[in-house]
Chains A and B, each alone.
Chain A
Amino acid sequence: MRILTKTSLYYLLVSFVVFLMGGIAYYTIMQGEIYDEVDDQLFTDKENILAFIRRTNELPHVTSGVTETIVVKEVTNNNPVLEALTDTLIYSSYDEEYIPYRRLTFTTYQKGKAYQYTIMKSVMDFDDLFESTVFAMGWTFLMLLVGLGAVNYSINKYTWRNFYDTLDKIKRYSLSQYGPLQLKPSETTEFQELNTVLQNMTNKIHSDYLNLKEFTENVSHEIQTPLAIVNSKLELFMQSGNLTSTEAKLLEDMHNSVSRLARLNKSLILLTRIENREFKENEDIPMHELLAEQTEQLQEIIEMHGLTVAQTIDQPVQVHMNRGLAEVLVSNLLINAIQHNQPDGVITITLDQEKLCLKNTGEELHEPGSNLFGRFVSGSKRSDSLGIGLALVSRICSVYNMRPNYSFVDGMHVLCIYFNQIPFKK
């Protein structure tokens, strides 16, 4: 729920309660006020009548109407009503309904006789009062609602616009394709503050990222030369002859480790270069030819593993990418299928316009397939596997908006690369 909707709902809830209570209070106060007023008039009438009698010593003429009625009657009762204020309803033929009246009854004496006066005054119909209160309150409430809507709309349009703009930019923010965040300046203090904080934060993150990246790059590049030197010295050492078998074994172990390190480093450099998008020259690569080429190159190794390769390539498939990277992609997929196979296993390759799939027999993995694309994750316990091949595959895929997918179906590992997925655009 948007924050504006939320606050509006709270406002409305509170306004509703306030209006309800206000209405009740208004109604009650008005009611009291009306009674007071009518009673005052009744007592004034009484005073006037008594004063008239005192002054003239005769009974006044009485009037009778709808709004006010004064009735006089002689009473013989021994205990007359001295003074009583009551409510009553009288039918009005004009309104065709009962109308509430306030009635003051009092007794006065004239010439020894007791006369009972009844003064009645119509008070306002409280149903009407109730109705008009609700009506007035309802209208006010409705107007408040319209006002609130208008205010919300304009706030949403003008004040929050910058916030949503910022939000959208952060959503699309990516470290690797860094351009400084271009946030629209806002006149709202909070949003301006948010923008400043975000700007500083991303700048900091980006400089940290650059430092780290530079460090990694430098390390891998600077390591090349010492590695080459160590390698060459070891080789010279080996040629020196007169080595005992222990020395020779030690030398070989060293040499193997250095070679391994060198290859690992080479792969890491390649990985970094792909991440840096240094391979800019793209062309349409005939995938079907590339597959055939790479399979041919690995044919010997495939045979030595006793593997059978079945290819289903229906039509030529062109994929727009860098040639070198395409080769790395295909050969790593093939090698992966060879490496994690079983003796006398099978590799099935299918290629169509949508995807390239390699299926191979092999033991089921003990970990989730998505981990497979990380660095240094190796399914088997083989020491000579660097576990970087599929990381390369995944990296290349992300550069070209392809999607790698792993599954295990019917005892076969299935690795599919879906070509050129349309990038998510808003």
Chain B
Amino acid sequence: MRILIIEDEQELNNSIVTYLQQEGYSCDAAYDFKEASLKVADLPYTCVLVDLNLPHGNGLDIVRLLKENTPETGIIIISAKNALDDRITGLEIGADDYLTKPFHLSELNARVKSVIRRRNFNGHKSVKAGALEVFPDSAEAQVNGQKLTLTKKEYDLLLYFLSNRNRVLTKDSIAEHLWGDHVEALDSLDFVYTHIKNLRRKIMEAGGEDYIQTVYGLGYKFAAE
């Protein structure tokens, strides 16, 4: 699966490429509008990440271009502008998701996976990890075929872990994934702990292994193949 990262900030672009490559994607990078439009016209991409503020042009035009030529491509807008209007325009003309800078790479990864999953590129209806199986369409999870009763937050958390398998996830990124903008005001880091404890317990009660490891000083890691 090929992913194109259109971001004029070279260092940020590199980070994204590195992270996604580790996930097993083939990545191309474009640093300005011209390069981006050439690459978009050249190859069909599974997913394209577009920064809106580009040298020599507007990222929204790339989105329009993609919608015309390869409508099956998933599009995620990444922008420094947290402008509601941009977000709305972006989603209206066909972007699948919108992410405001600065973001966690793990969050970006989860969004990319979600977009690809929704477009059903690999034909799977579920995500598997060990004895676990998650069905994003119905928002359900099973362990060895037995249904898990999860709260919405626990389900979100599980999917986030599955999207970032074998990756270290910081409490901060988990909190932001679960609570979004509200994270700053609340004792969310303690809540993260509570949620993870509950999720762990439920998986183990259903006969699964303890997939969630605590990485000292950093956060958590979901270790399963």
- Interface positions of A (Cβ within 8 A of B): 221, 224-225, 227-229, 231-233, 235-236, 238-239, 243, 245, 248-249, 251-252, 255-256, 258-260, 262-263, 266-267, 269-270, 273, 278-279, 281, 297-298, 300-301, 304, 322-324, 331-332, 335-336, 338-339, 384-386, 389
Known contacts: A225-B9, A228-B101, A279-B84. The answer to whether A245 contacts B217 by CB under 8 A is yes
Interface flags, B141-179, vs A, CB<8A=1, else 0: 000000000000100000000000001101011001001
B70 at the binding interface (Cβ < 8 Å)? no
Contact (A221, B80) CB under 8 Å given A232-B15, A235-B104, A266-B100: yes
A-B contact pairs, 24 of them (CB 8 A): A224-B80, A229-B11, A231-B103, A232-B11, A233-B11, A235-B19, A235-B106, A238-B218, A239-B167, A245-B216, A248-B215, A259-B172, A262-B102, A263-B184, A266-B100, A278-B83, A301-B186, A304-B194, A324-B84, A338-B185, A339-B186, A384-B187, A385-B184, A385-B185
B16 within 8 A of A: yes
Among B176, B181, B191, max chain A CB count under 10 A is at B181
Could you tell me the distance in whole angstroms from the C-beta of A211 to the nearest C-beta in chain B? 22
Cβ–Cβ < 8 Å partners of B191 in chain A: 300-301, 304
Contact A224 B168 (CB under 8 A): no
Given A301-B179, A301-B186, A324-B84, verify A229-B172 contact (CB < 8 Å).
Answer: no
Chain A CB within 10 Å — which of B16, B82, B167, B184 has the most? B184
Q: How far is the CB of A236 from chain B (nearest CB, A)?
A: 6
Q: How far apart sit A228 and B103, CA to CA, in the bound complex (Å)?
A: 7
**Smallest Cβ distance from A271 to chain B, in angstroms?**
12
Q: Bound complex: CA of A263 vs CA of B186, how far in Å?
A: 13
Docked CA distance A255–B122 (Å): 34
Q: Do B186 and A335 touch across chains, with their CB atoms under 8 A apart?
A: yes
Residues of chain A contacted by B105 (CB below 8 angstroms): 232, 235-236
A236 x B185 contact (CB < 8 A): no
In the bound complex, residues from chain A placing their C-beta under 8 Å from that of B176 are 259
Contact between chains at B185 and A225 (CB < 8 Å):
no
Contact of B85 among A229, A232, A281 (CB under 8 A): A281
5 additional contacts (CB under 8 A) given A269-B82, A335-B182: A232-B12, A235-B104, A238-B170, A249-B216, A304-B191
How big is the B interface, by class? 35 or more
**B18: interface (CB < 8 Å):** yes
Query: How far does the Cβ of B158 sit from chain A's closest Cβ, in whole Å?
Result: 16
- Chain A residues with Cβ below 8 Å from B182 are 297-298, 301, 331, 335
B22 close to A (CB within 8 Å): yes
Cα–Cα distance between A262 and B104 once the two chains are bound (Å): 11
Which residue of chain A is the closest to B15 with respect to CB atoms? A232
Residue of B nearest to A323 (CB): B84
| Min C-beta distance of B56 to chain A, whole Å | 18
